[in-house]
Structure 1
Amino acid sequence: MRYIVTGAGGFIGSSLCEQLRREGHEVVRIFRSLPEHAADSAGAYEDIAADVLSDSFPGLRICGDAVIHLAAANDIVSKDGREGIKLSLIGTKNVLDFAVNNGIPQMIFFSTIQVLGSELQGLITETSAVRPENDYAANHAVAELYTEMYARKGLLRAVSIRPTNVYGHFASPTINRWSLVPACFCREAFFNKTITIRSSGKQRRNFISVESVAKATSTVLANFPASYDTLNLGSPFHMTILEAAQCVKQVHDEMYPEPVELLVQGEEPQQENRFEISLRKMEDRYGFKEHLGAEDFRKEIRLIFLSLDRLAH
């Protein structure tokens, strides 16, 4: 199969491209501008420089079996509300039009579990109410509606994937996602010998490895729905922000002689938010059941520290 990946240089995009290539697929990687390291994989991929916000993007002529759209606004871009709306809405519409214009029958849009809320409670399924509480979640929720509309009109088949907190080491030094947990704690610990939590740290989160996200996406591509579907992509692995920070401190202190000081600077929230991500649809309908846990989380923290070692030297 021939897959086209926007946002191919990002955290999830780079891992997904590697996964699809290992499986023997042709992969077209779309970057806003070609990174220097793209030449290192010459022949393994077809690389194209194109901006999804460009008026010319829908007119690009590229054939393929599916588009995986990973170039919507992340949480950092979305702090500028207008820029986030522009990238997630206009960018996603341009990608949808690109797929339709090229007769590409399938598209996956990468959304976020935050469209269902910031502090999740109870059992979370694909039918849970959409309740975005910030610009990042809201612009993704509207982009989901656009994607569903194109599928409902019969223009293509589509899936919106909502990953939970994705963790893992960065496959390339050009990936800048240091705002994510646990990477943000690792960087502060490495350079400052502190880990700062500006809350109580009792916010509970669901974590899934970037490797599992890539494999799950491949499984969806191999079992694509007839029209449209929404998938919450998580794992059985939950921990609080404080527990994640404590895990980073433990791994750091095992690796380096100077221990890290863990600073908890807030009192809110006072209670943990208890929730569970239902995995039934991914397991029963799509056949994806690989789930990693605490030991893999520790392994990836160690790999993040080793990458910081390389950057520092």
Structure 2
Amino acid sequence: MARTAVVCGAGGFIGSHLVKRLRREGYWVRGVDLKVPEFAPTAADDFRTLDLRDPDQCERALRIPGGVPDEVYQLAADMGGMGFIHGAECEIMHNNVLINVHMTHAAARLGVPRYFYSSSVCVYRDMRPGEPEMAEDGAYPALPDNEYGWEKLYSERIALAYARRTGMAVRIARFQNCYGPEGTWQGGREKAPAAICRKVACAPDGGEVEVWGDGTAVRSYTYVDDMVDGIFRLTQSHLEGPVNIGNPEYVTVDELVAATAATAGKRIRIRHVDGPVGVQSRNFSNARIESLGWRAAWPLRRGIAATYSWIATQVDMPGVRIAV
């Protein structure tokens, strides 16, 4: 008999890719979201449009033919890139806390055996460039840089409290920046790799792109196939407590632009402008996820090549209006 899963946030970028992976693994999958995937049909066996801020709709999401799913993957969130995170603090905290309080409670009450929660490295404090790797316990004493990070940290604690109380197996991943094809690439909610790919695709050879800040902020960017592989391995594993998942290849924002320009075969000038940057640096240990045999298989240049090719195709589609 096929194993069953419900993916909350299945209309989003990572969630829609996760549905495809679970289907390849032989699962029967229900996808749940406020919206269907934007760029490709859902791969879910059953897709429900539900508002998971509502407790009754959370329970409806989890009641599948034959009972409750073997696994729930909770990725539903109101989120976006740094501009959105800094400009929508109240919406993020209100909507995401409601989703996570009600979904965790519903899963535990209905007897879901295994529950995955998608957290973020935004739970960590700012770091200095070159600072030693931070393990998961470095999130305390808590000092996230933004309200999204505080909400994620609180929601982790909700999930862990229900695990202690009910015995539900909870697995928590702290995502680093994720990118790849079929992700949001314009409109204000896109992440840095997608925004840079769009800007470079729209710029002529020898042209100029804007970058928020001075371009020295250090980040790691994880290709979506690697992220989904980490999610799946972690959920099947024995690992309790939060687990970092991210590519150990760190670059500055200016280096990200250079890699994208090289992929495009263009000479690109950078103009630094004021804008929300977030923390100055990131550097996290992946030892826990690597203990499961996981390794990032997509180096940045390979992942950017795949992402740029897809976004350049979107930019060139007839009738598409571009917000550069």
TM-score, length of structure 1 as denominator length: 0.85
Which residue is 1:133 aligned to? 145
CA distance in 1, matches of 2:235, 2:163: 16
Determine helix, strand or coil for the equivalent of 1:213. helix
What is the deviation of 1:82? 2.4
Identify which of 120, 134, 140 aligns with 1:112: 120
Kept after mapping to 2: 8 A contact 1:115/1:141:
yes
Alignment of 1:291 onto 2:297: yes
Determine helix, strand or coil for the equivalent of 2:115. strand
Unaligned runs of 5+ in 1: none
Which residue is 1:278 aligned to? 285
Identify which of 64, 69, 74 aligns with 1:69: 74
Alignment of 1:102 onto 2:115: no
Offset from partner CA, 1:174-224 (integer Å, 9 cap, x none)? 997752121111222333553211311111101211110111111112224
Offset from partner CA, 1:42-81 (integer Å, 9 cap, x none)? 8x51111211112412432232011111112314367322
Identify which of 112, 132, 143 aligns with 1:122: 132
CA distance in 2, matches of 1:311, 1:109: 38
What is the deviation of 1:37? 7.6
Determine helix, strand or coil for the equivalent of 1:114. helix
Alignment of 1:235 onto 2:266: no
Note the 1:1-313 alignment, pairs <5 A.
1-34=3-36, 40=41, 45-60=45-60, 61-62=63-64, 63-75=68-80, 76=84, 79-119=87-127, 121-128=131-138, 129=140, 130-170=142-182, 179-191=190-202, 193=204, 194-225=208-239, 228-254=240-266, 260-265=268-273, 273=281, 276-284=283-291, 286-300=292-306, 301-310=308-317
What is the deviation of 1:118? 4.2
CA distance in 1, matches of 2:20, 2:122: 26
Q: What's the C-alpha RMSD, in Å, of the aligned pairs?
A: 2.9
Identity of aligned residues (%): 21
CA distance in 1, matches of 2:187, 2:231: 22
Determine helix, strand or coil for the equivalent of 1:133. coil
| Residue-pair matches, total | 301
Kept after mapping to 1: 8 A contact 2:85/2:92:
yes
Give the AA of the match of 2:57: F
Kept after mapping to 2: 8 A contact 1:78/1:85:
no
CA distance in 2, matches of 1:36, 1:170: 8
Kept after mapping to 2: 8 A contact 1:249/1:262:
no
TM-score, length of structure 2 as denominator length: 0.82
CA distance in 2, matches of 1:175, 1:97: 34
Unaligned runs of 5+ in 2: none
Determine helix, strand or coil for the equivalent of 1:97. helix
CA distance in 2, matches of 1:311, 1:65: 43
CA distance in 2, matches of 1:36, 1:188: 20
Determine helix, strand or coil for the equivalent of 1:74. coil
C-alpha change, 1:104 and 1:55, in structure 2 (3 Å) is closer
C-alpha change, 1:29 and 1:90, in structure 2 (3 Å) is same
Kept after mapping to 2: 8 A contact 1:117/1:131:
yes
CA distance in 1, matches of 2:51, 2:202: 34
CA distance in 1, matches of 2:35, 2:305: 32
Give the AA of the match of 1:50: L
CA distance in 2, matches of 1:36, 1:207: 22
Kept after mapping to 2: 8 A contact 1:119/1:203:
no
CA distance in 1, matches of 2:35, 2:298: 34
Give the AA of the match of 1:144: E
Offset from partner CA, 1:67-124 (integer Å, 9 cap, x none)? 1111123143673222211222111011112212321111111111010124464211
C-alpha change, 1:250 and 1:133, in structure 2 (3 Å) is same
C-alpha change, 1:12 and 1:311, in structure 2 (3 Å) is farther
Give the AA of the match of 1:184: A
